[in-house]
Structure 1
Amino acid sequence: MESTRSRIINFLSENQDTYVSGQDISNELEISRSAIWKHMKELEKDGYVIEARPNKGYRIIESPSKVSENTLQWGLSTEWLGKSIIHKESTSSTQIIAHKLAMENAEHGTVVIANEQTAGKGRLNREWHSAKYKGIWLSLVLRPNILPNLAPQLTLLCATVLATVLKEELNLDPKIKWPNDIMLEDKKVAGILTEMQAEQDKINYIVIGIGMNVNHDMKDLPNDIQYRATSLKLQSGKEWDITKLIQSILERFESTYMEYMQNGFSTIKEIWESYGYRIGEKMHIKMFKEVKKAILVGIAEDGALLAQYEDGLVNKVFSGEIEWFSKTE
Structure 2
Amino acid sequence: MQFHLLKLELGHRIPSVNSTNDWIRNPELPFGSWVIAEEQTQGKGRGLNAWQSLGEDPLIFSSKIRISAAEISLPLLSIFISSALLKTIFLFFPEREADTTIKWPNDIYKNDKKIAGVLVQSEFINGVYDVVIGIGLNFFGQIVPDNLKDKATFLCETSLGEGELERFVNQLVLEINQAIITLLDPSQVLKDLVWIEAHSLLTNKVIETEWDERIVRGRVLGIDELGFLLIMTENGQKIELMDTSPKFRII
> What TM-score do you get using the length of structure 1 for normalisation?
0.66
2:131 to 198, 206, 224: 206
Looking at secondary structure, tell me which structure has more strand per residue.
2
Q: Map Cα deviations across residues 188-227 of structure 1 (whole Å, 9 max, x no partner).
A: 000000111113x62241000000001222x2x3321122
Structure 2 unaligned segments of length 5 or more: list them: none
Residue 166 of structure 2 is aligned to residue 243 of structure 1? yes
Structure 1 residues 275 and 112 mapped into 2: Cα distance closer, same or farther (>3 Å)?
same
- How many angstroms apart in 2 are the aligned matches of 1:229 and 1:84? 32
* AA at the equivalent of 1:308: M
Work out whether residues 109 and 115 of structure 2, in 8 Å CA contact, stay in contact via their aligned partners in 1.
yes
The count of residues paired between Structure 1 and Structure 2 equals 239
Deviations 1:223-249 (A, max 9, x none): 21122001112xxx2223322222221
How far off is 1:322 after superposition? 5.5
Q: Against the structure 1 CA distance between its residues 137 and 294, is the aligned structure 2 distance closer, same or farther, given a 3 Å change threshold?
A: same
Amino acid at match of 1:123: R
Deviation at 1:90, TM superposition (A): 0.4
Higher helix share: 1
Higher RCO structure, 1 or 2 (CA under 8 Å, sep 6+): 2
1:310 aligns with 2:234: yes
Aligned to 1:126: 49
User: Structure 1: where are the runs of 5+ without partners?
Assistant: 1-78
Whole-angstrom CA distance in 1 between matches of 2:109 and 2:227: 19
Task: Assess if the C-alpha contact under 8 Å between 1:135 and 1:242 holds in 2.
Answer: no
SS of 1:211's partner is strand
Greater displacement, 136-145 / 256-265:
256-265
> Where in structure 2 are the equivalents of 1:212-227 lying within 5 Å?
212-217=137-142, 219=143, 221-227=144-150
How far apart are 1:320 and its partner, in Å? 1.1
Residues 270-300 of structure 1 deviation map (CA, whole Å, 9 limit, x = unaligned): 2221222121122233445754331101122
Secondary structure of the 1:156 match is helix
TM-score of the aligned structures, taking structure 2 as reference length: 0.85
Q: Report the AA paired with residue 279 of structure 1.
A: T
1:178 matched to 2:98? The reply is: no
- CA distance in structure 2 between the partners assigned to 1:204 and 1:315 by the alignment: 28
For residue 87 of structure 1, what is the amino acid of its counterpart?
Answer: R
**Which residue does the alignment assign to 1:69?**
none
